[in-house]
Amino acid sequence: MRDTITILGVPIDRVTRNDAGKITEDLIQVSNKSCKMIFAPNVEFIMMAQKDEEFFNILKESSLSTPDSIGVIIGAKLQGKFFPERIPGQSYFRKIIELSNEKGYSIYLLGGKPGIPEKVRQNLKKEFPNVNIVGVHHGYFGENEEKAVIQEINSLKPNVLFVALGAPKQEKWIKQHQKELQVDVATGQGGTYDYEAGRIKRAPEWIQKIGMEWFWRLLREPKRIKRQLVLPVYLIKVLFAKDKTKGKFDYK
Ligand code: UDP
């Protein structure tokens, strides 16, 4: 049975970065190309899910959901529960890259602006010479190109498919194609490639440590204010939620 904390109905696993890596490896072993879904919910996800039933149901179908943001950690605390640590999306991504470098797991990078996933592969190759990135494709393909993208992924049958199309598009895309995709694990990765490609700089480590990265991002991308305005509403909703502990989730 999974050890999850449910925030406004969305299950999130009580795992460390190392646990998340280990569980991903276990899922790769048992998946047999059945496209198990791994998500990284943050406050925006949880709030979107309250209004978007399709997204809500997809998040409940994950095989693993990692605690991505400080808002998720605080949401748990308000319920008297504790995550062992926060796992920013990029940190989980890097864990899987490290495992690929050590053990050869094959990886496909889908999403980001044209040229970005190529740049990510190039940068990672310098740092992790044995990383096994078998294919990349940008995330701005039309419906008529989608079939070819899926065919290419399926011809490579990667262990892990990273999808960065922004939320909830990436999670919906994975769910929509789950039955066709011949990958062991597929995971939504939001803006991770933009950091890895050096297009956007992450906050200095001390700002990350004190949980203020959201503020740093806000200063650099003021249009994010609209997204972050959901935070106070979220906190109030969590405080008054009646379904605090509802839902038991098992590994799928
Ligand atoms: N993206 C994409 N295709 C799309 C929309 C977005 O490949 O149709 C990429 C975008 O280039 C970016 C990533 O998805 O690299 C995440 O987008 P965003 O910053 O909106 O999402 P967040 O990081 O907030 O989840």
Q: What is the mean pLDDT of residues 29-38?
A: 98
Instruction: Give the number of the atom of ligand 1 that is nearest the alpha carbon of residue 191.
Output: 23
User: Relative to the CA of 194, which ligand 1 atom is closest?
Assistant: 15
Higher per-residue confidence, 188 vs 212: 188
C-beta of residue 34 within 8 angstroms of C-beta of residue 177: no
As for how many domains the chain has, the answer is 1
Q: From ligand 1's centre to the CA of 85, what distance in Å? A: 25
- Convert the pLDDT of each residue in 135-152 to its tens digit: 999 999 999 999 999 999
Q: Is the CB of 194 under 6 A from ligand 1?
A: yes
Distance 240 CA to ligand 1 centre (A): 32
Residue 138 Cα: closest atom of ligand 1? 7
The rounded distance, in Å, linking the Cα atoms of 146 and 124 is 26
For residue 214, being part of any structural domain is answered with yes
Residue 212 has pLDDT above 90, yes or no: no
- For residue 165 and ligand 1, the question of a CB distance below 6 A is answered with yes
Q: Decide if 248 is inside a domain.
A: no
pTM here?
0.91
* 143 is a domain residue: yes
- Give the relative orientation of helices 17-31 and 89-103 as an angle to the nearest 10 degrees: 60
Inside any domain, residue 252: no
pLDDT at 249 over 80: no
**Residue 247 pLDDT:** 57
Question: Is residue 138 one of the residues assigned to a domain?
Answer: yes
**For 64-90, what is the mean pLDDT?**
95
Q: Domain span at residue 203?
A: 2-21+30-236
In a domain, 232, yes or no: yes
With respect to residue 231, please indicate whether it lies within any of the assigned structural domains. Answer: yes
Per-residue pLDDT at 245 exceeds 70: no
| Residue 241 is assigned to a structural domain of this protein | no
pLDDT tens by residue, 150-203: 999 999 999 999 999 999 999 999 999 999 999 999 999 888 999 899 877 778
* pLDDT at site 250: 63
